[in-house]
Structure 1
Amino acid sequence: MSIVKRIRLLNSTVVLVSLLGIVAGCKPTPSEPVKIAILGPLSGNVKPFGEANRDGALLAIEEWNAKGGVLGLPVEVVVEDCVFDSMEAIAAVTTRVIEEDGVHFIIGGIAHDAIIMSRIANPRKVLHISASSPDYLATVDEESRNKPYSFRAVPLDSFMAEAMAAFAIEELGAHTAGVLYNEENDIETHYAEWFRDGFQERGGNISIFEAYDRSAYTHAHEYSWDTLDQVADANCDVLFLPGYSPVVNRIAEQTKEKSIRVTLLGSDAWDASPQLDLESLEGSYYWSRYSPTDPRDMVQDFIIAYKDKCGIEPDAYGALAYDAANILLQAITEAGTADPEQVKDAMVGLKFEGVTGGGTFDEFGDPIKEVAIVRVEGGRRIFHGFVMP
């Protein structure tokens, strides 16, 4: 596989292309390599996420190339560092790989950077798939109009919160739920609202819906959760806690101290909480974007291959990027061409299976996809299964 890192080879082919007046955004000819850019932050504070995004996508592409590429053509990769905190730099790099490197496909964006990439790619008819950005505006504009050349491999946050609500009712048999969330954290607030709405839409009753402030975090070890008495009085079957370990641990401790029989539920914030008190949270559940304990062969094979290549265990960013690259190459195969216009049409009707779950895309390029549920059991985080809202 050829990885281009800002290296320009001024050979006769480039001269011929220039003379013919072929510019970026034109359809690739059948004999050309399929050129894909992998963009993400490879420096700065979020460098580990960008590196995982790069490594997961590269692993998938290397596997395709080892089997003959796609449509019998090799896949050529352009890897670029997008400075995460600079919108101008992200836009410049995205523009450059399209106009100078001539890429027709982009895998990139871990958060808000995907929005900028999509704004550059769509007018140029370059297909863009973000592996891990949950930002709504990565696939639609400010007026909720579809960006037809943009897709994502990770479900929307609202979709995953609704999946947890469905899991609570359909698998746990919950009828009554409580919700405690940090009102000063936007994502916790949204998770709380989306879970509440999904639970009620399925006939469940929300008996407690209460916000707390930052003091619950700053004084977590001594904070007294009097609200838990209300949870007990309301006979809540489940208590949804979308926050992080300091608060979640304290609530788990106090539910046990008060002998409150309620199943605790969490969000993917629990995945980002290495200090989670797994002993106190025994029997709890949370959703995850990827579970390394998923026993499927494709997941365990991916973990082995990633460790062999990178020397570390893959995280959700690496797994989602691996899936994003495989989805893109599957769509090119099913389209029977590397023409981005036809590939984007193939993406819309695609049925895919990935290490982070299987599914399809809706009309906005967002995945309708299985959401992994993790159970805390025996001091470990164990893959429980998949759920669809």
Structure 2
Amino acid sequence: MRFLHTSDWHLGQTLHNFDRCHEHEHFLSWLIDTLATHDVDALLIAGDVFDNANPSAASQKQFYSFLQRAKHRLPHLNIVVIAGNHDSPGRLEAPRPLLEGLDVTVVGHVRRGEDGEIDLDQLMIPLLRRDRTVAAWCLAVPFLRPGDVPRADNAVDPYQAGIALLYQQLLERVRARRASGQAIIALGHCHMLGGEASEESERRIIMGNAEALSDSIFDASVAYAALGHLHKAQRVGKREHIRYCGSPLPMSFTEIDYAHQVLSVDLEGESVSQVSELRVPRSVDLLRIPRNPATVSEVLAALAALESASMTETHRQPYLQVRVRLDGPEPGLRARIEAALEGKHVRLAKIETTFSRRESHDDVRIPAEELDRIQPEEIFKRLYLGKYGAVAPDEQLAAFGQLMLGSADEAGSK
């Protein structure tokens, strides 16, 4: 059997207010072609299908249209989807009766029976060969919240211990059920210990890094662990069979150099015989100019020298992040950058400003007892000096004065 491992689509995501529907549609069309070209038997989607728990009608239509097209193109295809921490479990499972008619399995919740015990069978999905015999068992474990895991008595960390106990119970159950030659695949959405996270676009699951799990939860009987949550494709603990496939699109400019991919996994009996990385073509480029923050004059020169292909279709134009290093406020910066980009076929997504380090000015601290005795302009001057190490220029003081005057007028009118 051959299956494809993918995750973290984040349908409906916007990049600094730019819609990414075109990029997602390009990826989904490529994915269907890839499934057919590589003669794939199963597709495992490891969570974060949508970017938020209340996805738009357009992003939901995009997802369910993909499922319908994929099954029409490959009627034999097993599809298993789990919820990630960005997904609403209930919303993802809502069309489950219809999806079951397409042989699509969606697991959003960890269900419990009337006795309060977890329904383990609901999390054990058989992956079928084309002759309808079972080739493998998929342990489809969605993102787990503290209330989803079994109680682990006397544990130092009940959440982590509960997750480990759940996997232990599942593995015991599936080992008792599987026949000889049937592999065990773990499908999960979680943060593994040592995993490298994206700086900007990955939402922390639980505060305090309590979510980081040990790879020991996957014992030797697990042929492959197909993980979601981290956007960078990576192995866990340098183990070839425990993998994050990563997101198919860069979700922020910090992911500009990631190797976005899906993973093709071949099974031979109970073991993995090969894992292949299939790179996702990038339909829209992300540009950082310059690569490292530079002065305003250097940035404007780099933008003037930027060569861009002529693209009248806005949704195909590259996204641009401009990185500027400043010595102080630059009120007209955006206008100057936009002027330098006149006629360039790019979309200005973000201006990232950093300030040169200056010697600290401890003497600008204002004791609380002084605040009611000094004027707002004096407070502004001291804070400006402390942040920028320079005297506030006249134009800044004038702007501050206008702001204060406008605030006073508004207060007087109420």
Larger Rg belongs to: 2
- Give the TM-score of the pair, scaled to structure 2: 0.28
Structure with more strand by fraction: 2
Question: Relative contact order (alpha carbons < 8 A, sep ≥ 6): 1 or 2 greater?
Answer: 1
- Give the TM-score of the pair, scaled to structure 1: 0.30
